[in-house]
Each structure stands twice: as structure tokens, then as C-alpha cells.
Amino acid sequence: MRVIQMKNLFLQRIIKKLVIMRKYLIIALSAISTLLSAQDKYTLSDFNKENREIIENIAVSNPENLSFGFNVSPSISWLNVTHNDLKTDGATLTGQIGFNAEYNIDKLFSVVSGLNFGINGGYVYDNASMLDLTTKSNFLMNIYTMEVPFLLRIKTPVFNKTIYYAQTGLLPGFRLSSREFHKASSFNFSNQTSNINNLLNPILLSYSLGFGAKFVTGKNYDLFTEVNFKSSLLNIESKTGFTDALRYPVIPEIKGGNMIFSFGVMF
């Protein structure tokens, strides 16, 4: 009787993993499809048909190689700006939460995906902010994002119950919202917050490089910690947003960077 119960629990766990992984894959494929459709509508149908079938077949045939989890990631975020007026002026502390899915190709390699919800941004200044006596000379630009990482992970064998790894890959995503925050220069004035979605590109693409360690507990879960560097590949600003808003006569070039420290659990 106990053997039957253990088998049922094992099957339930596999089914649960497949359901969650399938949700991740569908969301990830939809996100990538949207990005591709903006560039090439012909490749959109090919991507949906071929890659989705391949990934779902792999998941069904090798459910024991699937694991999933979540992480909390405080980060340091900054903006790199090239412009004759708008300038970068320092980093800010932000963070993200992530839902992870990992497929083990073999003992040394795996692919990692999931969903990340986070904040990118940094401090900047321009002539207008410097001349505004009601607020401080610099201001904060925050960009709230959703990203779908596609990473290749290279791992070591287990050493003292720990697996060390390095990983790299792309992080396509979307801007969910964005704002500017101008802090009041004194108690006599009020803080100023404005929506800047019309100034920024809704599509994001970054690359990531990092390393981490997974601690094998011998139970139904493992703990992990990571440090990842992330940098924009696409410009964050819109092609015409700043000029359409009469903000600047010349479009600035803005790219983001992050140093991300992650702590999580995998099941």
C-alpha cells in the first residue's frame, strides 16, 4: 500500500512539473513571437509551429529533467546615456522577482527560462532639471519590466553537496510601465512624478552573463544563489518620443545595466 502511495505522489509531482513548465513555455513562446512579429511576420508562424512542438515533445519524454522554482533578486541598476543634454548621474537600488524553469540536457548542461518582473533605471539630469529650483538637480527614471530569459547553463559535478555553474543568454522582454521621479528640493515644494511611456521603447532586449551555486539538500528542493550582469542590446528610448514631446531636439541614446543578486529555491 505504501509503495502505491509513493508511486502516486511521484506521478503527481511529475504532472505538476509538466503543467507549470508548459505554462512557462507558452508564455515564453508568446513573448518571443511578439518580438519576432515586429521584425518578420513570416518567421512568426514557423517559430510557433516548429519550436513549440519540439519543446513540448522534450518535456513529455523527459519529465524527470524538469525543475522549477522562484527567486528574489535585489539589484543595482543604472542608465548609460549618450546625448548633448541628458546625462547619467548614478545608480539606484532596485529588485526583481523571478519564476524559474530549468531543463537538464545532461549532467553538465541545462537550459533555463521563466519569467522575471523587475525594475530597471537610474539617475540622470539635464539642463531643465538643473534650472528647476523646486526639485533636486537630478531625477530618477524607473522602468518596470517583464522579461523571459533564455539562458545556457554550464555546471560542475556535485562537490560537497554543491553544484557551481556559469550561464549566459538573452533576455527579451516588455516595458510594463515607466516613470520619472523628481524629488523636491525642500519641504516647501512637492515631489513630482510623471509617466514617460510615450518616451520609451515598449520592446526590450538584453544579454546576461553570470555565475551561481546550487546547494543540494537531499530533500524535495534545492537552494541557489547567483550574481548576474545584465546590459541592454536595444536602445531604451523611443525613436521619436523625446522629439514628439518637444523634450529634446536630438534623440538621446539610452541603455540600461544591472548587477543582480539572486536567492531562490528549485523543486
* Residue-wise pLDDT tens digits, 1-40: 554 555 455 455 545 554 544 554 444 445 444 444 444 4
pLDDT for residue 62: 66
Q: Is residue 120 part of a domain?
A: yes
DSSP code string of 13-72? HHHHHHHHHHHHHHHHHHHHHHHHHHH-HHHHHHIIIIIHHHHHHHHHH-GGGEEEEEEE
Q: What count of other Cβ atoms lies within 10 Å of the Cβ of residue 6?
A: 10
> Can you tell me the mean pLDDT for 130-156?
97
Q: Is residue 51 part of a domain?
A: no
The range of the structural domain enclosing residue 150 comes to: 65-266
Q: Is residue 18 part of a domain?
A: no
pLDDT for residue 11: 52
* Rounded-to-integer distance, Cα 240 and Cα 243, Å: 6
Query: CA dist 147 to 29, 79, 262, Å?
Result: 12, 18, 15
Residue with the three cell numbers 527579451: 172
Give percent above pLDDT 70 in the chain.
76
For residue range 81-123, list pLDDT tens digits in order. 999 999 999 999 999 999 999 999 999 999 999 999 999 999 9
- 189 phi and psi angles, rounded to 5 deg: -125, 170
Q: Is residue 159 part of a domain?
A: yes
Looking at residue 186, which CATH number applies to its domain? Answer: 2.40.160.20
Of residues 177 and 3, more confidently modeled = 177
Q: Is residue 6 part of a domain?
A: no
Q: Is residue 48 part of a domain?
A: no
Q: How many domains does the chain have?
A: 1
> Can you tell me the mean pLDDT for 209-238?
96
Grid cell listed for 25: 513555455
